[in-house]
């Protein structure tokens, strides 16, 4: 099954949502009204609904109950795990709250027994993840095998050659932040399992942008923050661990839970023959959570999940494809070489840029003349220009439209 077919099949398995009127969604994202924004793969603009979620949370803490104010701890926090689980076709009991995508990947690595084993990844995985593995290689002697891309795609045969009976983990980005390359997760899962290993997926560039089914894809572990296609904010995210692997293949290294005090005056009727402290340690996937999460970010995400569910991820993906296909068709005539493989069913497309400084000047002149407003402010830029020196990356979302494409094509002419 090809990557496109797998994603299509995954979409077909999800509850169908009526196709929305994407032309009406722009007003839900004021930043998209204020400038031409193509950088949701870095930071998704906050929608009105997301901001309302944070504001509602703050209003209750600020003013207390009354006038329709409710405590998100009581009505919403318990719902975010089931909502994320629905999005990726997992059980709520397989989801833990964690600080970020990279923290989730580290939790998996730290909890695995990697002695005498190797990890296989590739150079289209997230750069911080690659640094993580290279640091472990240097400091811990971990056998790390990084497969290099061929023509900005990963040849599956190269991954096969890197895997052997000592491979404990294959770790990849489902969707590469470099160029939107989509990994064949089912094939990689079968490859890992055939050698007694497991598959980790960095799924942040997929969740909310393309259909993700961890069961169909064979993903054993995955992590995802909220500030990209989930339309949320920095601060926390989600960790997926296949239920039967929690505590066995991956062990928690931080401990939490609660004790019962089995003695007076804590207990009026202490249990005879029992210890003074009867501990109830967290178990299962919940054992990988420690400490209080950033609740305000989940209050925001709760509203974004409702928004995404209403639109339907398959509809979001189809909308993105109409815009990206035009960039793929028209930008090469302007001197930009596309390095996103044909058939990559993601919301990212990347081009090689011969003159990064010249592109920046064109964008700045467009802003000065009122032709187009595309801010270049670093991590919160409206467009990624000059990543890895010469990459021009576009990432589109629900608020983008054909007028955005026309405007940027005009600027880059």
Residue from 381, 382, 372 nearest 408 by CA: 372
Residue 404 CA to residue 413 CA, distance in Å, equals 14
Residue 317 CA to residue 22 CA, distance in Å, equals 12
What contacts 175, CB < 8 A, 6 or more positions away? 181, 182, 183, 203, 205, 206, 209, 210, 346, 348
Within the chain, all domains assigned CATH 3.90.1150.10 are found at 3-44+313-411
Residue 279 CA to residue 267 CA, distance in Å, equals 15
Phi then psi for residue 13, to 5 deg, are: -80, -15
- pLDDT in the model for residue 1: 47
- Predicted TM-score (pTM) of the model is 0.93
| Residue 59 CB burial class (10 angstroms; 0-12, 13-18, ≥19) | middle
Token readout for 1 is 């099954």
CB 54 within 8 A of CB 208: no
Please give the C-alpha separations between residue 81 and each of 126, 150, 206, in angstroms, as whole numbers. Answer: 25, 38, 17
Within the chain, all domains assigned CATH 3.40.640.10 are found at 50-256+281-308
Residue 31 CA to residue 26 CA, distance in Å, equals 9
Is domain 50-256+281-308 classified as CATH 3.40.50.11750?
no
End-to-end CA distance of the chain: give it in Å, rounded: 39
Residue 298 CA to residue 53 CA, distance in Å, equals 9
- pLDDT in the model for residue 164: 98
Q: What is the CA radius of gyration of the chain?
A: 23
Residue 185 CA to residue 238 CA, distance in Å, equals 19
Q: Provide the pairing of β-strand 221-225 with 237-241.
A: antiparallel
- pLDDT in the model for residue 379: 80
- pLDDT in the model for residue 8: 47
Q: Which of the residues in the chain have pLDDT under 50?
A: 1, 3-4, 8-9, 11-14
Is domain 3-44+313-411 classified as CATH 3.30.1280.10?
no
Give the tens place of pLDDT for each residue, 315-373. 999 999 999 999 999 999 999 999 999 999 999 999 999 999 999 999 999 999 999 99
Beta-sheet strand order (sheet of 348-352): 337-338, 348-352, 391-395, 384-387
HSE toward the beta carbon, residue 403, CA cutoff 13 A: 11
- pLDDT in the model for residue 301: 98
CB 284 within 8 A of CB 93: yes
Residue from 378, 372, 376, 381 nearest 405 by CA: 372
- pLDDT in the model for residue 14: 47
- DSSP β-bridge partners for residue 225: 237
């Amino acid at each position: 099954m090809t990557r496109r077919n797998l994603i299509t099949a995954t979409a077909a398995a999800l509850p169908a949502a009526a196709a929305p009127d994407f032309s009406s969604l722009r007003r839900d994202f004021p930043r998209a009204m204020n400038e031409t924004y193509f950088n949701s793969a870095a930071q998704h603009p906050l929608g009105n609904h997301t901001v309302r979620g944070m504001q509602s949370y703050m209003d209750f803490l600020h003013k207390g109950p009354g006038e329709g104010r409710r405590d998100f701890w009581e009505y919403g926090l318990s719902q975010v795990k089931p909502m994320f689980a629905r999005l990726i076709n997992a059980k709520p009991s397989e989801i833990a709250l964690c600080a970020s995508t990279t923290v989730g990947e580290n939790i998996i690595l730290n909890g695995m027994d990697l002695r005498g084993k190797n990890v296989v990844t590739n150079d289209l995985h997230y750069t911080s993840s690659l640094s993580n593995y290279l640091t472990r290689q240097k400091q811990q002697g971990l056998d790390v095998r990084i497969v290099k891309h061929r023509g900005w795609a990963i040849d599956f045969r190269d991954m096969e050659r890197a895997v052997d009976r000592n491979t404990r983990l294959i770790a990849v980005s489902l969707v590469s932040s470099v160029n939107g390359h989509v990994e064949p997760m089912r094939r990689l899962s079968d490859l890992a399992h055939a050698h007694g290993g497991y598959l980790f997926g960095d799924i942040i560039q997929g969740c909310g942008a393309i259909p993700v089914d961890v069961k169909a894809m064979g993903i054993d572990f995955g992590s995802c923050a909220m500030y990209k296609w989930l339309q949320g904010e920095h601060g926390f995210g989600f960790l997926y661990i296949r239920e039967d692997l929690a505590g066995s293949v991956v062990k928690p290294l931080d401990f939490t839970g609660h004790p019962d005090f089995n003695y007076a005056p804590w207990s009026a009727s202490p249990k005879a023959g029992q210890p003074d402290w009867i501990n109830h340690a967290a178990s299962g996937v919940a054992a990988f959570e420690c400490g209080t999460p950033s609740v305000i970010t989940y209050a925001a995400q709760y509203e974004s999940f409702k928004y995404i569910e209403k639109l339907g991820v398959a509809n979001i993906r189809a909308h993105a494809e109409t815009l990206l296909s035009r960039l793929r068709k028209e930008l090469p005539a302007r001197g930009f070489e596309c390095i996103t493989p044909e058939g990559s069913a993601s919301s990212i497309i990347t081009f090689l840029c011969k003159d990064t400084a010249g592109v920046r000047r064109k964008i700045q002149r467009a802003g000065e003349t009122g032709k187009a407003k595309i801010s270049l402010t670093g991590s919160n830029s409206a467009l990624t220009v000059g990543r890895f020196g010469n990459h021009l990356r576009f990432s589109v979302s629900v608020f983008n439209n054909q007028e955005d494409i026309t405007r940027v094509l005009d600027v880059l002419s």
